[in-house]
């Protein structure tokens, strides 16, 4: 009688475990959301850039994503001097106003 009771308990436990793993797998990301494969090379006006964020370290290319006033996201090369200048300006504004409009690198 006792062995008959153990089998359904094991079965229910396995089903619950597998279903919870399936939920976790569907919620977790297997790769980064935004990666850049080409860079926008033309200098952008500072006043059109709303926010910036560094791409995930799992991306092939290290890049910065600028979010523009029209909500477009533009990939730029973080080693370009004009990109560094915009980031410095946004950091300065962030510090001065206490606004959370800029993202720090995720390193």
pLDDT of residue 12: 58
DSSP readout, 80-94?
Answer: SHHHHHHHHHHHHHH
CA of 66: how far to CAs of 40, 76, 98, 99, 100, in Å? 10, 7, 20, 17, 15
* DSSP3 helix / strand / coil % (the chain, rounded to 5): 45, 15, 40
d(CA 52, CA 12): 48
Average pLDDT over residues 64-93: 94
- pTM, to two decimals: 0.60
If pLDDT is split at 50, 70 and 90, which confidence band does 70 have?
Answer: very high
8 Å CB contact between 40 and 76:
yes
Q: Would you give the distance in Å from CA 20 to the centre of its chain?
A: 25
If pLDDT is split at 50, 70 and 90, which confidence band does 95 have?
Answer: confident
pLDDT of residue 7: 66
Q: Which domains does the chain have, with CATH numbers?
A: 30-107 (2.40.50.40)
Q: Would you give the distance in Å from CA 41 to the centre of its chain?
A: 22
Of 100, 98, 105, which is closest to residue 83 (Cα–Cα)?
A: 105
């Amino acid at each position: 009688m006792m062995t008959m009771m153990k089998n359904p308990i094991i079965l229910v436990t396995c089903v619950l475990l597998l279903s919870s793993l399936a939920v976790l797998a569907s919620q977790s990301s297997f790769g980064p959301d935004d990666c850049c494969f080409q860079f926008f090379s033309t200098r952008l006006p500072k006043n059109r850039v709303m926010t910036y964020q560094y791409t995930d370290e799992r991306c092939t290319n290290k890049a910065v994503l600028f979010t523009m006033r029209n909500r477009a996201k533009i990939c730029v090369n973080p080693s370009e001097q004009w990109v560094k200048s915009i980031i410095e300006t946004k950091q300065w504004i962030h510090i001065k106003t206490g606004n959370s409009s800029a993202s720090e690198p995720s390193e």
